[in-house]
Chains A and B, each alone.
Chain A
Amino acid sequence: AQSVAQPEDQVNVAEGNPLTVKCTYSVSGNPYLFWYVQYPNRGLQFLLKYITGDNLVKGSYGFEAEFNKSQTSFHLKKPSALVSDSALYFCAVRPYGQNFVFGPGTRLSVLP
C-alpha cells in the first residue's frame, strides 16, 4: 500500500535556528513529491514540489527540500526559522496517474 510517514508529530525550534521536518514514503514507481503548509482553519498552501532533476528543491518562503531516492525521503528544511513559520506541514506524494497520498502532518512551533 502507498503510504507517507512523518515521524514527528511536533517539532519545536528556536527562532533563527535551522529547521527540518522529516518525510519518508513508500510508493511504487517514481512519484511526484510535495510539501504543503496549513494555517489554522485554512486550506493547504503549496510550498514546493519535486518532479525530476536536481535533488534539492527550493520553494516558497525560504523553504527547501531534499529528495533522497535511496532513502525514499523528502525532508523539508529552512536555514533560519521564523515565528510565522509555525503551522501544520504536510508531506504528500502523487504516484503517476494516481491520487495524492498525504502524510499525517507535523506541527511546527517556532519559539521566539
Chain B
Amino acid sequence: GAVVSQHPSRVICKSGTSVKIECRSLDFQATTMFWYRQFPKQSLMLMATSNEGSKATYEQGVEKDKFLINHASLTLSTLTVTSAHPEDSSFYICSASGYREDEQFFGPGTRLTVL
C-alpha cells in the first residue's frame, strides 16, 4: 500500500514557540491531505483538509491562525502550531488520499508535548 511519513515523530517544545510538522506521501501523489488530532483514549478529530495549491478548509472550532497548513506540492503538507501552549499537546496524525475516493493512507503520527 501507499506510504505516508511524518516528521518529527516526537517533539517537545517550550510554551510560546512554533512547531512545524511535515507530512509526505512517499510513493503517490496526494491530491488531498488531512490533519487530525487525537487526545488520549479518544478518536481522531479532523482539523482540516488541504488540497495541493489551495487554502486549507478548517473544521468548525479549529483556529486557522493557530494551526497553519500549507500544501505546497502533491507530496508534502505541513502543519505549523504557532505560539504553542500546553493545551496544544496532543498526537497529530496526517493522512493523504490520491485520486480514489475510497482510499486514505495515514502517517505514523507526531506526538507534541508543550511544556
Contact = CB atoms under 8 A, between A and B. Distances in A.
A96 B102 CA distance: 9
Contacts, number: 47
Categorize the interface residue count of chain B.
20 to 34
A69 interface: no
Interface of A is mostly: loop
The secondary-structure label for the interface of chain B is strand
B60 interface: no
A11 interface: no
Interface string A43-69: 111100101000000000000000000
B102 A43 contact: no
Given A36-B106, A43-B93, A46-B105, A90 B43 contact: yes
Interface residues of A, number: 20
A100 B104 contact: yes
A43 B6 contact: yes
A94 B97 CA distance: 13
Given A32-B102, A43-B93, A96-B101, A104 B109 contact: no
A103 B45 CA distance: 10
Interface of B: 1, 4, 6, 34, 41-44, 46, 49, 91, 93, 95, 101-102, 104-109, 111
